[in-house]
Amino acid sequence: MGVKVEDFDLDRENTWCPGCGNFAILDTVKKSLANLGLPPNEVMVVSGIGQAGKMPGHFRVNTFNVLHGRVLPAATGISLANHELKILAIGGDGDGLAEGGNHLIHAARRNINVTYMMHNNMVYGLTKGQVSPTSDEGLKTPTTPGGNPVAGLNPVLMLLGLKASFVARSFSGSKEQLGSIIERAIQKPGFAFIDILQPCPSFNKVNTHGWFKKRVFDINEEGHKPDNLCEAFQAAMEWGERIPTGIFYDEPEARPVFNEVLFGSQEQPLLEAELNPLDIKEMIKEHL
């Protein structure tokens, strides 16, 4: 019995603005999960706060919507309790790089078995347009009325610097590419990071759908092979008139994922381990 896209349908009012890049990302995720044959009850979506954080409110999956910036610690805890779940972590650029920056560093370092989709509209959508860590220099926002005084950071370069297992970028307007990257990321054991560019039609009048559309190109189509970290850095350096997307790095020799590091290749999730107080009787003896 196959999994259908409709299995993920959820009848709830959607409050995203018309033209929001999130709609395309949502459709693509549902399709990818169906393509991979993952039923809703085996998929775990952890999300933060922001317009991206609302995404699991719009499709049927297990959902833990936590606090701003705390997506990855929650996903880490869940992945240790039950490594059999397919875990997606979803949050925006403010969630992942401002409030949650420290967690992103350590989630990549631990190599938790999680696909992290960072929706990047280069602005704060939920709180109405303030500057983000990825806003370009000069962007005028309510909190940078004279223009963003500093350059935005490049999340792909950052994650390559952290030697994340899988680092990619896509665009909500390139659904086919996005879908294939999401499917590969979910199948990749370990921490898979996708920087998903998306327009915010309400609050970012510079980095619009058209602006992205004109600039994005697929590095893999242009011959980039994702098995070399140095070349991945080289490809990721570019930003401006041309914006590279695709899979920058897909670690060729997979490292063990975090739960394997802690437990070895466990069969039984911690969740299923029996609670038996007598398990500690040897420890009591050590105090005699």
Partner 1 sequence: MKNKVNFTIKVGGEAGQGINTIGSILSRSFADHGLHLFAHQDYYSRVRGGHNFYQVRLASEPVYSYSKKIDLLVALDQASLDIHKHELSNNGVIVYDQNEIEPENSDEQYFALPMAELGEKHGGKKVMGNTVAAGAVWQIMGGAPEILEDTLRKLFKDKGSEMAESNIKAARAGAIYAVENFYGRCGCSLEEPVNKEQMLLTGNEALALGALAGGCRFISSYPMTPVSEAIQYIARQANRLPLAFEQAEDEISAIIMSIGASYAGIRSMVATSGSGFSLMVEGLSLAGMTETPIVILLGQRPGPATGMATRTEQGELLFALHAGNGEFPRAILAPHIVEDAFWTAVHAFNLAEKYQIPVFILSDQHLADSYFTAKPFDLTAVSIERGEILSSDELNKMTEYKRYQVTESGISPRAFPGQSKHCIVSTGNEHTENGYSTEDPAVRMQMAEKRIRKFSSLAKDIIPPVHYGFDSPDTLLLTWGSSYGACHEAVTMANQQGKNMALVCLKQLWPLPKAKLLEYINRANRLVTVEMNTTGQLGRLLRVETGVQPDCAVLKYDGRPMNSNYVLEQLAKGGTFPWE
Q: H/E element holding 24? A: helix 21-35
Q: Does 192 bind partner 1 (CB under 8 A)?
A: no
Tokens 């299923």 belong to residue: 272
Distance between CA atoms of residues 60 and 78, nearest Å: 18
Among 58-66, 140-148, 176-184, 208-216, which window interacts with partner 1 (CB under 8 A)? 58-66
The distance of closest approach from Cβ of residue 240 to partner 1 in the complex, given in angstroms and rounded to an integer, is 33
Q: Does 206 bind partner 1 (CB under 8 A)?
A: no
Helix 71-81, helix 101-110: angle, nearest 10: 30
Task: Report, in angstroms and rounded to the nearest whole number, the Rg of the chain calculated over CA atoms.
Answer: 20
Q: Does 102 bind partner 1 (CB under 8 A)?
A: yes
How buried is residue 113: exposed, middle or buried, by Cβ count under 10 Å (0-12/13-18/19+)? buried
Distance between CA atoms of residues 55 and 276, nearest Å: 39
Q: Does 153 bind partner 1 (CB under 8 A)?
A: no
Among 26-34, 149-157, 247-255, 267-275, which window interacts with partner 1 (CB under 8 A)? 267-275
Q: Does 281 bind partner 1 (CB under 8 A)?
A: yes
Among 29-37, 73-81, 160-168, 233-241, which window interacts with partner 1 (CB under 8 A)? 73-81
Evaluate whether 92 touches 53 at the Cβ level (below 8 Å).
yes
DSSP 95: I
By CB under 8 A, name the one of 20, 29, 66, 108 that touches partner 1.
66
Q: Does 11 bind partner 1 (CB under 8 A)?
A: no
Q: Does 30 bind partner 1 (CB under 8 A)?
A: no
State which residue, 57 or 256, has the beta carbon closest to partner 1: 57
Q: Which CB contacts under 8 angstroms, 24+ apart, belong to 218-226?
A: 218/174, 218/177, 218/245, 218/246, 219/244, 219/245, 219/246, 219/247, 219/248, 220/246, 220/247, 221/246, 224/248, 226/250
Q: Does 70 bind partner 1 (CB under 8 A)?
A: yes
Q: Does 6 bind partner 1 (CB under 8 A)?
A: no
Q: Does 77 bind partner 1 (CB under 8 A)?
A: yes
Q: Does 262 bind partner 1 (CB under 8 A)?
A: yes
Q: Which of 221, 213, 229 is nearest to 181 (CA)?
A: 221
Q: Does 1 bind partner 1 (CB under 8 A)?
A: no
Q: Does 64 bind partner 1 (CB under 8 A)?
A: yes
Distance between CA atoms of residues 180 and 194, nearest Å: 12
By CB under 8 A, name the one of 6, 253, 267, 282 that touches partner 1.
282
Q: What does the binding site for partner 1 look like in residue numbers (CB under 8 A)?
A: 12, 40-42, 44, 46, 49, 54, 56-57, 60-67, 70, 73-78, 80-82, 84-85, 102-103, 105-106, 110, 259, 262-263, 268, 270-271, 273, 275, 277-284, 287-288
